[in-house]
Structure 1
Amino acid sequence: MGILIDGLRANGCEVTEINHPLELSTAQRVDILRKPWKLFGFAWDLLGLWRALRRDARAWMRRHGRPDAVLVGYMGHFDVLLARRLFRGIPIILDHMIFAGDTAKDRGAHGLRVRLLNRLDRMAIGSATLTVLDTQEHQLMCRPGDQTMVIPVGAPAEWYAAGSAEAARVAAGETARTNDIVFYGLYTPLQGAPVIAKAARELARRGLTPHFTLIGKGQDYAKVRTITHGLDNVEFREWVEPEDLPALVSSHAISLGIFSTTSKGLHVVPNKVYQSMAAGCAVITSDTAPQRRVLGDGVVYVKPGDPKALADAIEGLLGDPEALKVAQVKALEASRRFSSDIITKPLYQWILHSMR
């Protein structure tokens, strides 16, 4: 959402934010999608936030008049219903990067829960004038009559800044570029973290022990800890402050994307891939249709769900410093196509067209 706002501003839009956040982390919100009965637990808080949003939106319109468009943020399945009522006759843009039903299914839900969440997705998309999605695969999950637009997730400016700062330190001789490897995420099934753990184990069997930094905690965390038990080269960091993450990632030679074979894993290009490319890391990720289509030769691809293939790719880069450098340069070059001003230009043009 922040990237869309930054990009629209860079393209000349005046964007006013009206925000009363639900104090839940992304992991907690996704857990609610997997366990929809938890909706009742925060329904009262949600209604209170809606009252505040309605009050502020009406006050803004009294001062400024009707907006040209309204952008409803990521995971706005409920907020878009409110926006539809508050801003009648005004184009509503929904940032729909997550399908509730698809995400819940990926986390192990099934049956009635998934059907209810699929209906929630339909209600949200049906309430929007334009639905923004991150891949063509997600676009195909919409209905033919839905007005949609594909916008890559991209990377915020701080990731590019972190990559530039790291490159400057290396060029000045203040630090040396390591051969370290980093992964960060919520350990969800689509990320395939156990594949990374098995690849680390396979590399150790070959006598190769590069340092792995695995950041985060989630569903597959315990399994990964079990697989890597006894590997002294694997470091776990359950939490890193968001403002510190770009610099930490940029200090690594290789960043790892996603490696699962789940349906959702085959539909996405994860934000960590865009961010890691902007940070100047070589990136290894699964060879899926959306990633290959969007990223081109900016990353190194391996077969989804194949620890040996991942181990081979890591060994190939670490065993050939020139290949590693080329992979880092290609990643950074490719990342320039995904800055906020570039990826939001079609959305800016859509807004201009809707004003005519």
Structure 2
Amino acid sequence: MRWLAFGTYDVQRHPRVAVLLDGLRESGEEVVEVNDPLPLDTAGRVQMLRQPWRLPILAWQLGRCWARLIRGARKAGQVDAVLVGYMGHFDVRLARFLFRKTPIVLDHLISASGTATDRGLAGSGGVKQKLLRWIDRKALGSADVVLVDTPEHLDALPADVQARAVVTPVGATKPWFAQYRAETATHEQLRVVFVGLFTPLHGTAYLGDALAELADDPRIAVTMVGKGQDHADCRRRAAANRNVTWVDWVRGDELPAFVAGHDVSLGIFGTTAKAQNVVPTKVYQGAAAGCAVLTSDTPPQRAMLGDTAVFVPPGDASALAAALRTLADDRELLQRHRRQVHERALEHFTAVGVVAGLLDRVRQPAPAR
């Protein structure tokens, strides 16, 4: 099949799209891209909801991108399917207009309404929440196939959408798998890394408290990468620990080697509704790179990782600190987790494995709408 990857996605900010495109190409599909990244990340879009008078800026930026997308779509020629990348709530409607008779796949990794609720922008009611739910409904209604990353997100879709949805894990790209080393040197300190945007989903308040509990343990060195909503609070909570290094960010092309230089990759620890339904990108990437993965014990993460990861209850700082101490004490256990979670990633989370269900679906007759 000849696929068109279409939209304002940014593979540097959201590597999920890169996994899908790599998977299609590695499966023998032809992929052409018509992409004009919107110069606004998730945090920027959320900020506009906090300050609605800024929404005309979004409309102007989106309009400029769309003008280029329309020109690119005209040059792309005939395609068999269109894949609209992550955060394509508006792009999918343009795709539906331009490709009326072509199957359209929407990567619906997050809902607009769910993200706003998780970040404390809107409750279950109110004008903002109603608007965001309308945006979600219109986006889902424009797609022939909808991709979600966990069964929990599948269950959250409207009943009429579930029949045309496919669960596709986020996965990881080849550079992450390339970092794996079966034999790793044993260092005096347990090297731990967290990479994220410090949103409530990540539960960095609990992580900060756990780091404070570890302040008297020089065997555990932690690197915290990123900035975001809860960064200042996390740093304040962890201030007593002098074995923590704070890094504003690491470039995307340097991140696989950077993370692989650590023993343990931290996932998420939040208690929000969204945190109970996701498996974050960093978990797949850390597993692919061969780090031991330490994350919250939630149904989707347990289902994806089995017994290969180290799990702690969401929101339990003391359990998190204790798990890190255990890994620092037992290096054989650490190495076993590193090996087993990487094997799990090889079996289930490569780009080819991620798109297998998608390819099966698009080659079937479309379900009734």
Normalised to the residue count of structure 2, the TM-score between the two structures is 0.89
Taking a change above 3 Å as real, the CA distance of residues 140 and 33 of structure 1, as seen in their structure-2 partners, is: farther
Note closer, same or farther for the CA distance 1:8–1:262 as it changes in structure 2 (3 Å cut): same
Q: Which of 339, 352, 368 is equivalent to 1:329? A: 339
Partners of 1:348 and 1:32 in 2: CA distance: 36
What is the distance in 2 between the residues matched to 1:294 and 1:266? Answer: 13
Q: Which residue of 1 aligns with 2:363?
A: 352
8 A Cα contact 1:34 1:108, kept in partner: no
Q: Determine the C-alpha separation between the residues in 1 that align with 2:107 and 2:38.
A: 17
Structure 1 stretches of at least 4 aligned residues deviating more than 3 Å after TM superposition = 29-38, 175-178
Q: Once the 2 structures are TM-superposed, how far is the Cα of residue 204 of structure 1 from its aligned partner?
A: 2.4
Contact 1:179 1:210 (C-alpha < 8 Å) held by counterparts:
yes
Residues 36 and 274 (structure 1 numbering): CA distance in 2 closer, same or farther, change over 3 Å?
farther
Does the 8 A contact of 1:299 with 1:331 survive in 2?
A: yes
Deviations 1:22-80 (A, max 9, x none): 1223432344456555332121221122122112112222xxx3x11100000000000
1:119 equivalenced with 2:131 (yes/no)? no
Kindly report which structure 2 residues correspond to 1:11-30, keeping only aligned pairs within 5 A, or say none.
11-30=27-46
Contact 2:80-2:103 at 8 Å conserved across structures:
yes
Rounded to whole Å, the distance in 1 between the matches of 2:192 and 2:23 is 30
Residue pair 1:34, 1:107 contacting (<8 A) in 2 also = no
Q: Does 1:72 align with 2:112?
A: no
Choose from 264, 276, 279 the match for 2:274: 264
For residue 4 of structure 1, the aligned residue among 17, 20, 26 is 20
Q: Higher mean Cα deviation, 52-61 or 69-78?
A: 52-61
Higher mean C-alpha displacement, 42-51 vs 142-151? 42-51
After TM superposition, give the deviation of residue 238 of structure 1 in Å: 0.8
Question: Are the structure 2 counterparts of residues 310 and 202 from structure 1 closer, same or farther at C-alpha, using a change threshold of 3 Å?
Answer: same
Query: After the TM superposition, which residues 188-199 of structure 1 pair with which residues of structure 2 at under 5 Å, given as runs?
Result: 188-199=199-210
Q: How does 1:279-290 map to 2 (within 5 A)?
A: 279-290=289-300
SS of the aligned residue for 1:18 comes to strand
3-state SS in 1 of match to 2:271 = coil
- 2:303 aligns to what SS in structure 1? helix
Work out whether residues 80 and 94 of structure 1, in 8 Å CA contact, stay in contact via their aligned partners in 2.
yes
Task: Quote how far apart the aligned CAs of 1:193 are.
Answer: 1.0
Q: Mark the CA change 1:176 to 1:96 in structure 2 (over 3 Å): closer, same or farther.
A: same
User: Does residue 1:137 correspond to 2:152, yes or no?
Assistant: yes
Q: 1:35 and 1:84 mapped to 2: Cα distance?
A: 30
Other structure's SS at 2:88 match: coil
Measure, in 2, the Cα distance between the counterparts of 1:37 and 1:141: 31
Deviation string for 1:103-158 (max 9, x for gaps)?
Answer: 01111111321221111111100110111000111111111111111100001111
Q: Which amino acid aligns with 1:246?
A: P
Percentage of pairs with the same residue = 46
Determine which structure has the larger helix proportion and give its number: 1
* SS of equivalent to 1:353: coil
C-alpha separation in 1, matches of 2:69 and 2:99: 12
Q: Cα distance, 1:209 vs. partner?
A: 4.9
Residue 151, structure 1, aligned to residue 162, structure 2:
no
Matched with 2:220 is 210
Deviation at 1:189, TM superposition (A): 0.4
Q: What secondary structure, in the 3-state scheme, does the structure 1 residue paired with 2:250 have?
A: coil
1:94 aligned residue (84, 94, 106): 106
Which among 171, 190, 195 is matched to residue 184 of structure 1?
195
Residue 214 of structure 1 aligns to a residue whose secondary structure is strand
Q: How many angstroms does 1:346 deviate by? A: 1.4
Structure 1 Cα separation of the partners of residues 53 and 82 of structure 2: 30
Deviations 1:243-265 (A, max 9, x none): 11111110111111000100000
Where 2:146 maps in the other structure, the secondary structure is strand
Q: Say if 1:102 and 1:37 are closer, same or farther in 2 by CA, change over 3 A.
A: farther
Name the CA distance, whole Å, in 2 between partners of 1:214 and 1:12: 39
Given that 2:203 and 2:269 are in contact with CA atoms closer than 8 Å, whether structure 1 keeps it comes out as yes
Structure 1 counterpart of 2:72, from 53, 56, 64: 56
Distance in 1 (alpha carbons) for counterparts of 2:106 and 2:188: 41
What secondary structure sits across from 1:204 in the alignment?
coil
Q: Which residue of 1 aligns with 2:328?
A: 318
Q: TM-score, normalised by structure 1?
A: 0.92
Separation (CA, whole Å) in 2 of partners of 1:298 and 1:315? 18
Structure 2 gaps of 5+ residues are: 1-16
Asked if the contact 1:33–1:117 (Cα under 8 Å) also holds between the matched residues in 2, the reply is no
- Residues of 2 paired with 1:94 and 1:33: CA distance? 23
For 2:52 and 2:177, how far apart are their aligned partners in 1? 37
Query: Aligned partners of 1:267 and 1:34: how far apart in 2?
Result: 25
- Separation in 1, partners of 2:260, 2:342: 11
1:234 paired to 2:249: no
Q: Distance in 1 between matches of 2:53 and 2:129?
A: 12
Alignment partner for residue 115 of structure 2, among 103, 110, 120? 103
